[in-house]
Structure 1
């Protein structure tokens, strides 16, 4: 099994103290619908930054940014849905069920151990899933669109029953379908099952950004997995290197196969980066994806998640104010979307 090739940088069990083991996932994210990366309803523009186009190409361009929280929050929620479904969330010190953005984490579930938590006046766990901003390959000017939004009355027109015209007319920026973002997610001192859990969250999460019940469809693919004793180059460096490698001129929509080939050419040179000890081939990578799919399948998911949850049992500290409680029959606080 190819996941065993990562054994030198995988922890055998969860440990409280870091030991310098890094696993880096190179992720290609592609929008499959209109997408909005900004605070919902704020009227702010789409997130973007002015950066150098490539490593060799020193032109300054504006790139779209998929911020860290816009990546990790939906992926955490996806994993937590299944923890909740399999009754693997715990009650916090105030007796409420573990929930995001409520300042009362349970400090005992898979999500808390992996993605971390900070309880006001209580304990804290640093996240072992390190993320950074993902950047679009193409400039923002190529991949942004604008829509006019109106709100019609129940009679299907812009005028009410008294003939008054609606003033609910606005324009909004959006990211076009088919836009590619490149990203590196770094896992620190994780076990094999924790790796499967995080990869599953990335692969199966399909909605990101604002108004995600209407837009925000996105497809994620893992292009490479590296094991090392240090972090890989940044997501921005990856995007810039791929931009240099692509044949010009570039225009939207970009061919995904062509982009993937160039990205893998860049990644092939990273095998010799300082600190890298393991790099999976395409065949080994495909084997890992199959392994993840098997563990997340309907037949195996319950055993997989319960085994992962059980692995933290020696490290759990039950809050003095309440006993450990599972999610069955409990009402969870509302989780705020980021």
Structure 2
């Protein structure tokens, strides 16, 4: 079943292959914080000491958004949709507890169940870094837990339920490239829909962590492209030259998106791979067609059913069959 007219079918497989076949799809996203999210480990915000740019060699500390902080919310978005429309064995899936081994989530994002088998992820996500310095991208909040009547004291005693926590500031930008390997058309749409729909990342996702994903390009290639860090450093160099980095003022989103476009076009021209780029205006027609599919319930269900059909066929051929043979 075909869904797209704006992208040549040659970039997709007719079925999910068992071996790497050299078809890479790179989603170029700028993740924009819209509240005060927490990307942390052991109670502290994740960060890394790196050079500011490719040309600007001064060291700075950047906020880091680890790969699991990005991929986990996106795959949960897809699982939610599969359960909503009761597609496949999605009801059996319980993240980090039990996997069906047959759904698009399991086959595309991968799973590991100890002796119960595993599947390598076809979605490659690497750590993303803030464009701006850590000191200009976070704020320390004092948190409390008041009693029922709204104060911190009761019967003359003051509660000790007060804590401090660093939070990432709104309008902090994390350039991130998500790579999908050897996809069918339905698999491509499934992953893209998850990226565009996901709105919360990091800890305490029910109360904070609002993040918007701005897709600025899609690159079809026969190999991997530039890293998140190098793209971020190139963006920093461009914005610094244009006097667009003026802490403590937040970055202007239009400036960031323009710099992201310019940076990736310059960096991709240095890559030793064959590639077809849909960036900027070339992306608009694709996004309009994708929107017409994912915002229409009937079309969306057809997409999810097709993605599940392909994943089930792959599982029956390469996972479940192998599991049965090992158990004999």
- Aligned partners of 2:146, 2:139: CA distance in 1, in Å? 22
- Aligned partners of 2:106, 2:84: CA distance in 1, in Å? 17
| Alignment equivalent of 1:99, drawn from 86, 94, 100 | 94
Match status 1:254 vs 2:263: no
Offset of residue 147 of structure 1 = 0.9
- Aligned partners of 2:230, 2:108: CA distance in 1, in Å? 26
2:286 equivalent in structure 1: 288
Deviates more, 1:292-301 or 1:104-113: 292-301
1:109 equivalent in structure 2: 103
Offset of residue 291 of structure 1 = 2.1
SS in 2 for 1:280: strand
Correspondence list, 1:167-178, <5 A: 167-178=160-171
Match status 1:277 vs 2:275: yes
| Alignment equivalent of 1:35, drawn from 34, 37, 53 | 37
Correspondence list, 1:1-338, <5 A: 3-5=6-8, 7-39=9-41, 42=42, 44-90=43-89, 97-102=92-97, 104-160=98-154, 162-246=155-239, 247-248=242-243, 249-251=245-247, 252-272=249-269, 273-297=271-295, 298-317=297-316
SS in 1 for 2:276: strand
The TM-score, its normalising length taken from structure 1, stands at 0.87
- Aligned partners of 1:179, 1:235: CA distance in 2, in Å? 15
The structure-2 alpha-carbon separation of the partners of 1:49 and 1:281, relative to structure 1 and needing over 3 Å to count, comes to closer
- Aligned partners of 1:17, 1:142: CA distance in 2, in Å? 45
Deviates more, 1:281-290 or 1:19-28: 281-290
- Aligned partners of 2:283, 2:5: CA distance in 1, in Å? 7
- Aligned partners of 1:35, 1:50: CA distance in 2, in Å? 20
2:324 equivalent in structure 1: none
**Between structures 1 and 2, the one with greater helix share:** 2
- Aligned partners of 1:89, 1:67: CA distance in 2, in Å? 30
SS in 1 for 2:180: strand
Aligned residues: 310
- Aligned partners of 1:19, 1:319: CA distance in 2, in Å? 22
CA contact 1:33–1:177 (8 Å) conserved in 2: yes
SS in 2 for 1:211: coil
Deviations along 1:116-165, one digit per CA (max 9) or x if unpaired, are 111211222110000000100000100110111111111222111x2111
The TM-score, its normalising length taken from structure 2, stands at 0.89
Deviates more, 1:146-155 or 1:197-206: 146-155
The answer for unaligned runs of 5 or more in structure 2 is 322-328
The answer for unaligned runs of 5 or more in structure 1 is 321-338
- Aligned partners of 2:314, 2:156: CA distance in 1, in Å? 67
SS in 2 for 1:173: strand
- Aligned partners of 2:93, 2:214: CA distance in 1, in Å? 30
Offset of residue 281 of structure 1 = 4.1
The structure-2 alpha-carbon separation of the partners of 1:319 and 1:277, relative to structure 1 and needing over 3 Å to count, comes to closer
SS in 2 for 1:258: helix
Offset of residue 9 of structure 1 = 3.2
